[in-house]
Chains A and B, each alone.
Chain A
């Protein structure tokens, strides 16, 4: 399928290049220009981030009325706040009067947001409620009722907060499609669901933002080279260099995708990632049978919710002789221009779990992923160097990335109980092509 097939029309960049000449999804070639062109970056802000649902926070980060956090949709800062009526609102962090950010603390609790420039004051949902010296300054020329911080629509799915500035977005269930089944499995396998431990880690990588999502959505294959140190050190408990092969590779509509990896039949895996018995009982009572069967024997899940929220559900051993720990991590690749991204990364554990289980989750996460993680350190090294190597004219013109792994393989459900387009064996680049297909469709629209 070419981009033209998708759209039935051509989309051209300012130098006359047709978008369809940059992506040959059918044969598995993607031009390096796609991860390095500033013109495409501007188009992404307009045609992707301003239009699709973007996951930006988790409800457990703002549990109380008045709680808020600052986040990004594309490269623009938004306030995610819980109102006095317990509803969640997302607004652009820029005053309606002159554009000054009305909130400059990245998290907290407040009954209102007051602009430091002229004192315009807003309710948690963004409604203008106060203007200093209103009578003398504006009189009847300003009716507070008419003004509101630029407002996004909000949808909450298994605790994950999505927002969009699109006035007519697709219904969230339609946007997520069959991905939702997997989000339920990861985020809501106990009655109270997962909760964020503390706050996200934040750091900057000089990488195009799309490289993070491209990796997480489907690149099980990089593990045996990039992360071979983890195999040698038995952070991967089996010590098998091909540990990330033994699973399924699953694509969904709109660019979402994930891989779910267990182990060969002869390798023992702890049930439900080794959760304590009380949590295992809750999973049995909470998760529908299909998800329960899928979740029962896994060690690694990796995936991306289009456009820029990835997740990992991993099990690793970080000390010799100590049982592996498991955790769910969310990570947002926040664009900061074509050559840089800010990584937000959260770790989550079951809300009902003991402090000991949560501590083990946090400890295992920090040692393996996040800024100091023994696996993630090496990912950042790859992505920043790719960005450095592909921003030049020659790479943009002549380098086409090979996305041919699994291209001739047909979908095969096998005994996998989950929905989506399922491929057996997680070494594949179908999910990556699926992202690029969704990306191209939006850019060319």
Chain B
């Protein structure tokens, strides 16, 4: 991911609020199961990737590995996943999970005139069936978002999970 030296856009700046609103809208649509509306928020050239976390010593840094990933998607494959949910045979999400996505600690840098790097923390609670225990995912997203006059589009997303062994039985949900 490009690391520009610019300062973060401060909390309360109109651009900050616009991008925060975008992430909240996205989380809302996904929690509602409005996947096709969510697809409208993605750039046709979107890349959607979830690297793997490994447990390493402190000296080796974050332990993130990108040679192998949990998601390796573009617009067509995300659409395929959404089409699948509509087949009546997507058993892993039918009956669907109840999900609640929380977005926080948003930090934004401008990359060029219209493009921003948006880093955020996520917490996803997933409830399935009548099991009272939640499946939980937490981590950081590093997004590249383009701001147009009529709205924003997600161009690139990297999802960094905190868990080295995921505590969800599948990733049948989007993050």
> Which residues in A have some Cβ–Cβ distance to B below 8 Å?
104-108, 197-206, 225-230, 232-233, 235, 318-320, 322, 342, 347, 362-363, 366-367, 370-372, 374, 376-378, 380-382, 384
Contact B92 A203 (CB under 8 A): no
- Chain B residues with Cβ below 8 Å from A226 are 91
Given A233-B84, A371-B170: A197 touches B91 (CB 8 Å cut-off): no
Contact B57 A108 (CB under 8 A): yes
Judged by a CB distance under 8 angstroms, whether B158 is at the interface is no
Q: How far is the CA of A320 from the CA of B67 in the complex (A)?
A: 25
Contact B169 A204 (CB under 8 A): yes
Judged by a CB distance under 8 angstroms, whether B71 is at the interface is yes
Contact B170 A202 (CB under 8 A): no
Contact B91 A366 (CB under 8 A): no
Within the complex, the shortest CB–CB distance from B56 to chain A, in Å, comes to 5
Given A198-B68, A203-B166: A108 touches B92 (CB 8 Å cut-off): no
Within the complex, the shortest CB–CB distance from B117 to chain A, in Å, comes to 24
- Chain B residues with Cβ below 8 Å from A232 are 87, 89
A-binding segment of B24-32, B74-82, B107-115, B145-153: B74-82
Within the complex, the shortest CB–CB distance from A307 to chain B, in Å, comes to 21
Digit string of B32-68 for contact with A (CB within 8 Å is 1, else 0)?
A: 0000000000000000001010111100100001111
Contact A378 B68 (CB under 8 A): no
Within the complex, the shortest CB–CB distance from A66 to chain B, in Å, comes to 14
- 9 smallest CB-CB distances across A and B, nearest first, come from A198-B68, A198-B67, A372-B171, A377-B92, A203-B166, A229-B89, A377-B170, A319-B76, A229-B87
Q: Please, which residue of chain B has its CB at the minimum distance from the CB of A200?
A: B68
Judged by a CB distance under 8 angstroms, whether B5 is at the interface is no
Contact A370 B70 (CB under 8 A): yes
Contact A381 B166 (CB under 8 A): no
Contact B170 A201 (CB under 8 A): no
Q: How far is the CA of A382 from the CA of B94 in the complex (A)?
A: 12
Contact A372 B70 (CB under 8 A): yes
Q: Please, which residue of chain B has its CB at the minimum distance from the CB of A234?
A: B80
- Chain A residues with Cβ below 8 Å from B70 are 201, 366, 370-372
Which residue of A105, A347, A381 contacts B92 across the interface (Cβ within 8 Å)? A381
Q: How far is the CA of A28 from the CA of B92 in the complex (A)?
A: 29
Judged by a CB distance under 8 angstroms, whether B162 is at the interface is no
Residues 90-112 of B contacting A (Cβ, < 8 Å): 90-93
Q: How far is the CA of A391 from the CA of B26 in the complex (A)?
A: 39
Judged by a CB distance under 8 angstroms, whether B164 is at the interface is yes
Contact B77 A372 (CB under 8 A): no
Q: How far is the CA of A293 from the CA of B146 in the complex (A)?
A: 52
Known: A377-B91, A378-B90. 14 other contacts (CB 8 A): A107-B56, A108-B57, A198-B66, A199-B67, A202-B164, A203-B169, A228-B87, A362-B69, A367-B80, A370-B70, A371-B171, A372-B170, A372-B172, A377-B172
Q: Please, which residue of chain A has its CB at the minimum distance from the CB of B166?
A: A203
Q: Please, which residue of chain B has its CB at the minimum distance from the CB of A70?
A: B55
- Chain A residues with Cβ below 8 Å from B172 are 372, 377
Count of interface residues, chain B, beta-carbon cutoff 8 Å: 38
Contact A377 B168 (CB under 8 A): no
Contact A204 B68 (CB under 8 A): no
- Chain B residues with Cβ below 8 Å from A198 are 52, 65-69
Contact A204 B167 (CB under 8 A): yes
Contact A374 B84 (CB under 8 A): yes
- Chain A residues with Cβ below 8 Å from B165 are 202-204, 342
Residues 140-164 of B contacting A (Cβ, < 8 Å): 164
Q: How far is the CA of A226 from the CA of B91 in the complex (A)?
A: 7
Q: Please, which residue of chain A has its CB at the minimum distance from the CB of B76?
A: A319
Q: Please, which residue of chain B has its CB at the minimum distance from the CB of A318?
A: B77
Q: List 28 A-B contacts (CB under 8 A).
A: A104-B55, A104-B57, A108-B60, A198-B66, A199-B54, A199-B68, A201-B52, A201-B70, A202-B164, A203-B166, A203-B168, A204-B168, A205-B169, A205-B170, A226-B91, A232-B89, A235-B80, A318-B80, A319-B77, A322-B76, A363-B77, A366-B72, A370-B70, A371-B70, A371-B166, A372-B170, A374-B80, A380-B170
Given A228-B89, A366-B70: A374 touches B81 (CB 8 Å cut-off): yes
Q: Please, which residue of chain A has its CB at the minimum distance from the CB of B84?
A: A229
Q: Please, which residue of chain A has its CB at the minimum distance from the CB of B74?
A: A319
- Chain B residues with Cβ below 8 Å from A205 are 169-170
Among A198, A226, A342, A372, the most chain B Cβ lie within 10 Å of the Cβ of A372
Q: How far is the CA of A366 from the CA of B83 in the complex (A)?
A: 17
Within the complex, the shortest CB–CB distance from A427 to chain B, in Å, comes to 19
